Structures are given as C-alpha cells and as structure tokens.
Structure 1
Amino acid sequence: AEAWRRHGARLLERIEGRFALAVVDGKGEGLVATDRHGAVPVCWAEEGGALRFATRADALARACGAALDPQALLHYLHFHVVPAPGTVFRGVRRLLPGHCLRIAEGRVRAGAWWTPRFGTHAARVPATREELFGRLRAAVRGALEGAAAPGAFLSGGTDSSAVAGIAAAIHGEGFPAFSIGFDAPGYDELGYARAAARHFGLEHHTHYLTPEEVAEAVPRIARHFDQPFGNASVVAAWRCAELARAAGVDRLLAGDGGDELFGGNARYRRQQALALYGRLPRPLRAALIDPLARPQGPGPLRKLARYVEQARRDPVERLEDYNLLRRLGPARVLHPELLEAVDTGRPLALRAEAFHGALADDDLDRMLAMDLRFTLADDDLQKVGGACGLAGVDVAFPMLDGAVVAFACALPPRLKATPWRLRPFYKRAMRGFLPRRILAKRKHGFGLPFGIWLTRHEGLRRLAFESLEALEARRIVAPGFLRELTRERVAEHPAYYGVMVWVLMMLSQWLEAHEAPGGASG
C-alpha cells in the first residue's frame, strides 16, 4: 500500500518475476495487475456496477453465473488453449500479459503497463557474451532467493541446461535437477539431460513416464485447470514437478522463454529464408526471379515458384498454414450449431493484431512478440505454472527476468535467426559453458508420445475414445468428424491426428469435471 501511495501504477515496474497484484486505497482508487508475461493469470468481470477479480476463471464464472462462450470454444480448438483477453466463460475476461486494471472515479480501465520493445524501440545494450551471462546470473540468483530447497527442470535443451548450470555454479555442486523420459523412439531426450547433469555436477533425478500414468493424470489435470488446456506436455511437467516435490524441493527453476526471446523455433529460420525475397530490389525480382518461378516447370523451378508464392503472403496467414484446425477445416470439425454461432476468422485476427501491433521494425521480431503472447503467456507458462501448482511446488522463470528480456529484445534479428541457423548469438555465447552435444541438438522439450501410445495402450485408447464419445452430445464437434477421427485417422497417422484426439479428450474431461453444459448456445 505504501508503494502504491508513493509510486502509483509505476510500482509495477519495480516488481520482478511472476505475480498478481491488487491494491485499493481508501478513496476507492486502485490497481489490479498481472506480471509482464501473464504467468499468474488475473481474470475479471464487471457485474451490477461491481468489479470482481480472481486468479481462476471458473471461480469468477461461478460467482457471476457465467455460461460458456461459443467463440472461446472455437479458440480452444484452434489454439489448444483459450487465449487472453478472453476466457471460456462469457463475460469473464483475463488480463493480457503486462496489463492491469486501473480503478478511478468509479470506472475500470484495462491497459498495458509493460510491452516488449524490439529493435529501435528498445534501449541499447552491449551485445556481448559477458553482458548476457551477467544478466542471466543475476536472474538465476534472484530466482533462487527465498527458496529453502530449490531445484530445476532439465529437459536437456539449451535453456533448461543453462539455467540449471548457472544455478549449480551459484548454489554449489549437487544442485538437484529433474527430467522425464519416454520409452518411445524419437521422443526420449534423457541422454541430453544426463549429459548436462554430468557436465554441471547436478544431482539428477529421472523418471520414465508410462501410458498408465498418463491415463491416471488426465482427469486430475482437467479438474485442476480453470479452463480447458490442450498441451499434452503438461503431463510430463506435472510428473516432473511431483518428482521434485518428493525429493523435498520447494521451488523449480524453468527455462521457458528462451525460444521466444533468442530465436529457437524452426519457423523463425523459415521466416528469415522467406524474408530474403522481400529484401531483393523489386526490379531484380521482376526481371530474374519471378519469370523463373513456374509452377509447371521442372523440379527446381516448381520449388522456386512455391517459395515465391509463400514469400508474397502475409506472414501471419503463412504461419496459420500449420494450424491443425485450419488444415482440417472448421466446417469439417465443428458441429453445425457451433459453426453458426462463431466467427471462424477471429483466431487469425487475434494473431494478426499481436503481430502487426508489436513495437518492432522487423517481421522476425514481430513473430517473436506474437509468440511471447500466444505460445509463451497463454500456453507454456500456464502449463508449467499449472503443473507445479498441482504438484505443490513453486516455480520461477529466470529467462523472463526483465533485464534478460530487455537484452534479447534489443538484439538485431540476424543474431536471433538466419535462413541457416537458429539462435546464432545465444549458441555462440554458450560455447564452452554448455556441452557441445546440447548446443548441436534439435529442439524437443517434454513432448508426449500420446499418438503412438494411443495405438498401443488399450487403457489410454479407451479413456480417449470414451471421452470423445461423451463429447458428441455437447454439440461442439461434428459427430461425423469424431467417428472419422477414432475409426480411421488415428490409425493412419497417430502422431498427427493424436494431437486432435488429445485436445478433444481434454475438453471433454474438463467439461465433465467442471459440470459445464457445453454446446453452441453455452
């Protein structure tokens, strides 16, 4: 309260880490806020002239008698989460990352108190290895403060390994780290995690996740989350947090955020490759490139034609080509009643608003800004925060420390991704600190082999298919698509169609656990 009186809304700039904050003074003026990345959700609703807010959307929905929002159901099927500023409940909203509610003169206004700034919009910083490590060390040290028994997630990737390694250097040898493995070809990353653990002298705890554990976890996770949540790797994150809790750890350090800050996703490299076309002088493109780009020509010219066609498209639309719902087609997936009640173009519009509204000069940085919102804030941070909450362990995200974020945002795009390399600056900076094997590996994380297990494990398949059968009566998904999915598509391509089975299973389980009626009418 004293900080509020002294600094007003600027007090938020003095707070690091994940937080939700509410301050109201004796004059009825106040502030309700979430942290820079929305790691702690803040949901709110106005009813009868009163402002209600909570960290859980379902709690507010019960208090307000809110029904399900059909548009939010579409957003869930598109994004596999319900992105802010909406929630799955009509009339209940969630603050965007770095946003707050200002309460004054009987009115409530939502707005940004922090926004990521890239390129010329960012403060200049020395782009040196020493500067990066200095900021990372300070961030990890801050994340360790106040924890009686800290530990770290360790997937074996560059970010979790860097965080765990720096924590070990500060805390001393024997710093505990926790990893999950999968007995499925192409999914098990424990070899990389073990390499990092040996390299830094970590006390390494590992566990191989089984299909039986996944089947047992699904209803628990559905009950725990306040909204439908469709990222399957939440199971691995939860089991990892449980492993840490059993070892006496009270706070886990996670490496989330590094991909979105330093350019670690494969689509960034593709974006940079396509951007080369736009950087060529228009007369050169018209005279040399475009005439050769013939869809009916020989193989190399057909490839060039596809490249030119992709390069000319809006970057946001181009990225949506990978979206599962878009590929399958909303008219094929959605129940006719839901299809009639929603705007199928709204998910693309949400992404476009984030992309084109970014404080950035380059399309790569605009993509990073968009991913900080949708991939990180709406998905990964809710996954890890929810998993740790269910396990009873605190979590911190050192990569998202303000000084680290400012450093990354100020880096030129060419140091984040090129047509040939991801994270060129970050990986150069980590040479000599991280094992070469980890620097050379492809990104993976805690991906779950659900689609493969779906075809091999009867109990998991029964849970999934019975969940989809229960969903049929809710008039959200077309019955014909549900039957096609379970009877044909999963067997044809388990990994690809398994994603949609998981998303629909978690929706069905969530609706059942929260006794929500579902349906197009809400």
Structure 2
Amino acid sequence: MCGLVGFIVKQSSNIDYETVIKQMSMTLSHRGPDDFGIWVDPNVGISLGHRRLSIIDLSPEGHQPMHSISNRYVVVFNGEIYNHQDIRNELLSQDPQITFRGRSDTEVMLAAFEKWGVKKAVEKFVGMFAFALWDKKERVLYLCRDRMGEKPLYYGWVGDTFMFASELKALTKHPNFKQEVNRDALALYMRYSYIPSPYSIYKNIFKLQPGTLLTVDVEKNLENIEYYWSLKNVIEVAKNEPFQGSETEAIEHLHSLIIHSVKQQMLSSDVPVGAFLSGGIDSSTVVAIMQAQSKKAIKTFSIGFYEQDYNEAQHAKAVADYLGTDHTELYVTPQEAIDVIPLLPSLYDEPLSDPSQIPTYLVAKLARKHVTVSLSGDGGDELFGGYSRYIQGKHIWKKIRNINWRYRNLLANTIFHYSEQHWDYLLSNKIVNRLTKNKLYGSRIYSVAMLLKSRSFENFYRTMVSHWKIPSELVKGSQEFNDNSENGNGRFHVEMDDFEKMMYIDSISYLPDDILVKVDRASMGVSLESRIPLLDHRIVEFAWKLPIQYKVNNGIQKWILRQILYKYVPQQLIERPKMGFGVPIGHWLRGPLREWAEELLDEERLKVEGFFNPSLVRKKWIEHLKGEKNWQYYLWDVLMFQAWLNYSK
C-alpha cells in the first residue's frame, strides 16, 4: 500500500521538476512512511514520485519508481497483486530466461507488461491496485485502477500539464494547480453525501473509474479510456449463463472462493495481518475463515460506544470469544470521537459526509498499533443484498409503478403546492402523534411526492437515496451532471430484478465512491493497509450468477453468506437487527458540536463564500436546534463541505 504522484508537461517548462515532484510526494507520506523515491526525465517533461508502505519484499529491491529489466517501462504502484507468485511462475514457465531481482509484486507487474502488453497483463492481475506506467519507447503514459475501485487515482489537465496522484492534496502542491470548486460536482455531493466518479470537487480533475485503463499520448495529444473489466458486462454474462447447481453446491462453491481469497490475502504479506470485526455477517465471515486458516489466534479489532444504540462491540466480542481470536476493543467517549472531526478534511481531501468515517478512522488507528495489514468485510451488502433499503425500495416501487405517471405527477404537484410547514400543521394532530415519534411530517410527505414523480425505477432509487432532493436550489450557480452513466456504458440487454438493480447501482457508485473511499483514507491516514476479500472479482462474478433467492430468501437478506458463516459460528450469535457503523451526529450538533457548527453555518459567512443558499441552510439548522426536526444528515453534508473549504484555503 503506497501513494503515487506524477505529471507530464506538454511543452518545455522552467519549473524545477525534482523540487516539485518531491513537494507533491511529501503530502502522501502517511500512505508510505517506509520509503520515498522519484524519477524525472526533463527531456520529455515527465516526473514520477512514490511513497512506500512496505508489505511485500521489505528489502530495497521493492523500491519505486521501479524500472523493468529492459528499461522500457517505469512504474509507480499503489496496492497489492495477490496472485503475483502465480503470475511469476507463469512468466518463468513461458520464458525461463526472465530474471527477477527481488520478491515484490511490482517487479512481476513490469515483467508481465513486457511479456504480454499492458491490457492483457492487467486482465491477469488479482488484487487492489492503481498504477502509473510510463512507456519510454512509445512515450505513452498508462493509468489504471482495479476492478471494484479499492485504490484511488485522480487525474486531469491543468493548462499544458497532465497530473495524477493517489490523493488530491498532492495535486494542489503543483505550482500550476488551480483550486477552483466544481459547483456541479458540489451539487452531486449534496445529493449523495459523496462525489460520484468520474467527478471531483475541483474543476478539470477527475477520478479514474474502476476497471478502466487510461492511455495518454502527450506528443500526439491523444487520450483514451477503455474498460478492461466492467460490472455491467459481468452481469450480462451472468444472466445469460446463470449458476445451474443446487443450493448446497452454490454454498460450497462460494465458500471455496472466499476461503481462497482470504488465504491469498493473508499470505501476500511480510508484515503482521489482522482484521476489523464488527460482529456482523460480513466481517464475522471473513474473520471466521481467517481463523480457520491460521495456527495461532489472529488479531481482531473493534470500536465500542457507550451509547447503546450505536454500539456493536459486545456482538463483536462474542464472535471473537467463540472463534478464539486475539481480540482488542476500545470503548470511545463522545469527546474522543468528536476530536476526530478536525482531522476529516485533511484525511479525505474532498468533501465526504458519511458519519461512519469517524469510527472507521478510530478502528484503523487502533489496529495500526498492532498490525500493518487489516482485512475487512466490506462489499457483502452490495453483493448479497444486505441493505434494508433494498426491501423497502422494491416494496414501495411495486405499489406505485402501476399508477399512471400523469396521475402520480399530478398528486405530487398538489403536495408541492403547499409548504412543508403547512403539511406539518395539517398532520400535527393527536392521532398522527401517536403513530410517529418525530415531527418530520412535511419533509416526509415531500419525500413521498418526489418518489411519485419518478418515471423509472432507476430514477426512483436515485431519489430514494438522495439527501438534498433538489441540490441545485441549495448550491448557487450549479447544474447537476447527468450522472446516470453506467460502468461499461450503455443499456442492459438482459432483464434484472428491481432488487438487483439497486445492488448494481450501489456497486458502481456508493461502494467505490463512499465506502471504499472511507476505508482507504481512514486506514492510509494511519499508514495501515486495508484489504477486502469479498471484492475479489472472482467472487463478484460468481455472486452475480446466483439466483436472487439465494441472496434474499423469504425476507432473509444475505442468505447464502449466512449459510457459510453458520459453519463456523452459532446462528444465535449473528441473528439480530442490522446496525450501521454510525455515531449520534444529530445529538452532538445540539450539544458539544453546536459552537463549531454555528461558526461554519454563520449566515454572513455563507453569503460571503457564495456556495450555498443561506436561507435554506439556516432554516434547517434552526429547526434542528429547536428539536422540531432531525436534519442531521442534511446539515452534516453542509458542514463537511464547510470544514473542507476552510481547510483547503
């Protein structure tokens, strides 16, 4: 796990290449505290920088930037290729004359590029990775990102300079960089609480999308992006060639795939390995299989909160005790959690308002005291249908889809004719008060109206998961991008269940742009490598071959994953309502965070900065403070942008 950075200047420049690339690289020291390297060729205007966290081959032979044996290629690489030993053996079987200086996966990658070409080599890689590869012979740059988007990579043109890096903070250190906020991307952020790929918070800077290979020929002024792996294509193949075996065969095959993935990720390390454990189905499955592969107790880690509504630590400890892991838990006070908040803008580099970023950072910090690599159970919800909103969404859409859209639209417009306050007044009677626990009457009926206006299921789900439903009214001078682009592009040519559509949408958006960003930045912020066995692309491809009833069976979500887990852990330790990895943000905003929030949401400040409609923000802030409504997530969206803006000045 490392950090990479680089730039190419199209025309001759007076900048000091070495000084600039060093300054850019230093911003990524947390991603790679063990080693530092640069490579510069002023003749062609290219500079590469690397920060290394030593995981495989701790010797100097793993130093980057690394050159291929023929000296044709030079690479900077972030991530791990778990099957690098298999690829090494394949290369040697085809050409026994190939020589290797050390044991690093980076060296194997370079040999593969020389033997098979870049795209064919990448298609063989199993792992999480982002890399920049310079072809000295053809004078072409390749940027590549892993299939599911575990590792980040930003890129873009700033004038005549093409720049790229693992994190945005590195790009901002280039003297030509312009920190112009992309208001249209900001509108998307206010809708989703994250900025979806390929956009970033800055104009002209983009995220490389998962499963893609970007080729840049500076001399010919050509730039091309192609998918070497696409989830859309995977699903179309899976639907045309579904799994035909029995339930038992499906369980056993998935079980063997997860065992192989976990084992491969445990072995691909020369440093201590542990695991995050929440006590839920996904992390418990990963930990159970890890422990079954190990002769000694593996190290597991969890964070606990004294507020019981947010505490999963006791469940994690019960699973750890049963499996016999070497378990470490840390109970965090509200103040200790709140103390993380000032770190968030520098950790995440662009606005992200998923409150679980706080406990994620805390558990990563805890794990780093004991290990250098930690496995997690992320991805299970998207692959096996674990989110409760999937059942809710399918149920609601089933009720409204058969109503003619014109009638639905008419009803929605009638609702919008009256203000939220008017609906609050109309519905604030004794009967309603007995049926509901809070006073979000007007906002709830407005949310229903927004859903009624949906013309398609995709638009319905997009609205359902949105925070600010019409963010262009909040963000001044913004117009939302058409963010309906699909991984692999184009429409599906196969039928999909509505439940599966939600899983697909989350897998190409929420998963890579929220969940995986959160895990990567939190772990790398403390120089910890996180690995995610369930996102092995072979598991992903098999999961999509399975019938939907293997994932949701009689209302039981993640059914097939549960059957595997029950081989290791008693059912009663697992069967409980699903909890989110969250914190009581709403309560804190009325208490210990009130002064901090008030400063960031000051009306005059909002007017001067000019990004938001102050009246909309202040209205929600005042209603929240009075306890009239709970606007915690809406306000957290604004606050995380404001905190980032303050940090980035």
Q: TM-score, structure 1 length as denominator?
A: 0.84
Alignment match, 1:298: none
Partner-residue secondary structure (3-state), 1:231: coil
Matched, 1:314 2:456: yes
Deviation larger for 156-165 or 421-430: 421-430
Separation of aligned partners in 2, 1:70 and 1:275: 32
Partner-residue secondary structure (3-state), 1:511: helix
Which is richer in strand? 2
C-alpha deviation, 1:313, in angstroms: 4.8
Separation of aligned partners in 2, 1:16 and 1:209: 37
Alignment match, 1:461: 594
Alignment match, 2:162: 51
Separation of aligned partners in 1, 2:564 and 2:283: 15
Match of 1:216 among 339, 342, 346: 339
Alignment match, 2:280: 157
Match of 2:299 among 155, 176, 195: 176
C-alpha deviation, 1:33, in angstroms: 0.3
Structure 1 residues 360 and 271, CA gap change in structure 2 (3 angstroms): farther
Match of 1:264 among 380, 386, 403: 386
C-alpha deviation, 1:268, in angstroms: 2.0
C-alpha deviation, 1:404, in angstroms: 1.2
Separation of aligned partners in 2, 1:137 and 1:388: 24
Deviation larger for 416-425 or 3-12: 416-425
C-alpha deviation, 1:255, in angstroms: 0.6
Separation of aligned partners in 2, 1:219 and 1:174: 36
Give the letter aligned to residue 343 of structure 1: Q
C-alpha deviation, 1:489, in angstroms: 2.3
Alignment match, 2:433: none
Separation of aligned partners in 1, 2:196 and 2:553: 29
Alignment match, 1:93: 206
- The answer to whether the 8 A contact 2:291-2:297 is kept is yes
Separation of aligned partners in 2, 1:490 and 1:100: 48
Separation of aligned partners in 2, 1:375 and 1:158: 20
Give the letter aligned to residue 65 of structure 1: F
Pairs aligned (count): 480
Structure 1 residues 199 and 311, CA gap change in structure 2 (3 angstroms): farther
Q: Percent identity?
A: 27
Structure 1 residues 106 and 438, CA gap change in structure 2 (3 angstroms): farther
Matched, 1:350 2:492: no
Separation of aligned partners in 2, 1:271 and 1:454: 30
Deviation by residue 1:269-305 (Cα, 9 ceiling, x = unmatched):
23444676799xx9xx99xxxxxxxxxxxxxxxxxxx
C-alpha deviation, 1:379, in angstroms: 0.4
C-alpha deviation, 1:326, in angstroms: 3.8
Over the aligned positions, Cα root-mean-square deviation in angstroms equals 3.0
Separation of aligned partners in 2, 1:60 and 1:509: 20
Partner-residue secondary structure (3-state), 2:371: coil
Alignment match, 1:35: 146
Q: How does 1:426-445 map to 2 (within 5 A)?
A: 426-445=561-580
Match of 1:446 among 570, 575, 581: 581
Separation of aligned partners in 2, 1:454 and 1:183: 18
Deviation by residue 1:361-409 (Cα, 9 ceiling, x = unmatched):
3033332221012111000001011000111211101011122111112
Match of 1:330 among 471, 482, 497: 471
Matched, 1:60 2:171: yes
Alignment match, 2:126: 16
Give the letter aligned to residue 546 of structure 2: L
Structure 2 gap ranges (5+): 1-109, 405-447
Deviation by residue 1:169-205 (Cα, 9 ceiling, x = unmatched):
1123421111112222422112221221112111221
Deviation by residue 1:311-361 (Cα, 9 ceiling, x = unmatched):
98511222234345444x436633xxx1xx2224x3xx4147469745753
Q: If you compute each CA radius of gyration, which structure gives the higher value, 1 or 2? A: 2
Match of 1:70 among 168, 180, 183: 183
Separation of aligned partners in 1, 2:494 and 2:322: 38
- The answer to whether the 8 A contact 1:176-1:203 is kept is yes
Alignment match, 2:631: 497
Give the letter aligned to residue 330 of structure 1: P
Separation of aligned partners in 1, 2:601 and 2:570: 44
Separation of aligned partners in 2, 1:90 and 1:216: 31
Give the letter aligned to residue 463 of structure 1: W
Q: How does 1:196-275 map to 2 (within 5 A)?
A: 196-246=319-369, 248-273=370-395
- The answer to whether the 8 A contact 2:279-2:574 is kept is no
Structure 1 residues 214 and 506, CA gap change in structure 2 (3 angstroms): farther
C-alpha deviation, 1:90, in angstroms: 0.5
Structure 1 gap ranges (5+): 287-305, 516-522
Deviation larger for 392-401 or 24-33: 24-33
Matched, 1:103 2:216: yes
C-alpha deviation, 1:479, in angstroms: 1.6
Separation of aligned partners in 1, 2:507 and 2:531: 17
Deviation larger for 90-99 or 446-455: 446-455
Separation of aligned partners in 1, 2:235 and 2:337: 43
C-alpha deviation, 1:74, in angstroms: 1.0
Structure 1 residues 262 and 356, CA gap change in structure 2 (3 angstroms): farther
- The answer to whether the 8 A contact 1:416-1:425 is kept is yes
Separation of aligned partners in 2, 1:370 and 1:320: 9
- The answer to whether the 8 A contact 2:378-2:534 is kept is yes
Give the letter aligned to residue 206 of structure 2: R
Partner-residue secondary structure (3-state), 2:552: coil
Separation of aligned partners in 2, 1:331 and 1:75: 9
Separation of aligned partners in 1, 2:564 and 2:639: 42
Structure 1 residues 193 and 13, CA gap change in structure 2 (3 angstroms): same
Alignment match, 1:3: 112
Partner-residue secondary structure (3-state), 2:216: strand
Separation of aligned partners in 1, 2:123 and 2:585: 41
Deviation by residue 1:426-478 (Cα, 9 ceiling, x = unmatched):
223333323313542232241111112333x43x2222222222555312222
Deviation larger for 128-137 or 20-29: 20-29
Deviation larger for 378-387 or 32-41: 32-41
C-alpha deviation, 1:96, in angstroms: 0.9
Alignment match, 1:137: 259
Structure 1 residues 415 and 118, CA gap change in structure 2 (3 angstroms): farther
- The answer to whether the 8 A contact 2:472-2:478 is kept is no
C-alpha deviation, 1:154, in angstroms: 0.9
- The answer to whether the 8 A contact 1:152-1:164 is kept is yes
Deviation by residue 1:125-176 (Cα, 9 ceiling, x = unmatched):
5552211111111111121121521111111110011111111111234211
Matched, 1:407 2:538: no
Deviation by residue 1:488-508 (Cα, 9 ceiling, x = unmatched):
2244267x4111222222211
- The answer to whether the 8 A contact 1:241-1:391 is kept is yes
Alignment match, 1:115: 230
Partner-residue secondary structure (3-state), 2:214: strand
Separation of aligned partners in 1, 2:305 and 2:639: 21
Separation of aligned partners in 2, 1:353 and 1:242: 35
- The answer to whether the 8 A contact 2:397-2:457 is kept is no
- The answer to whether the 8 A contact 2:191-2:471 is kept is no
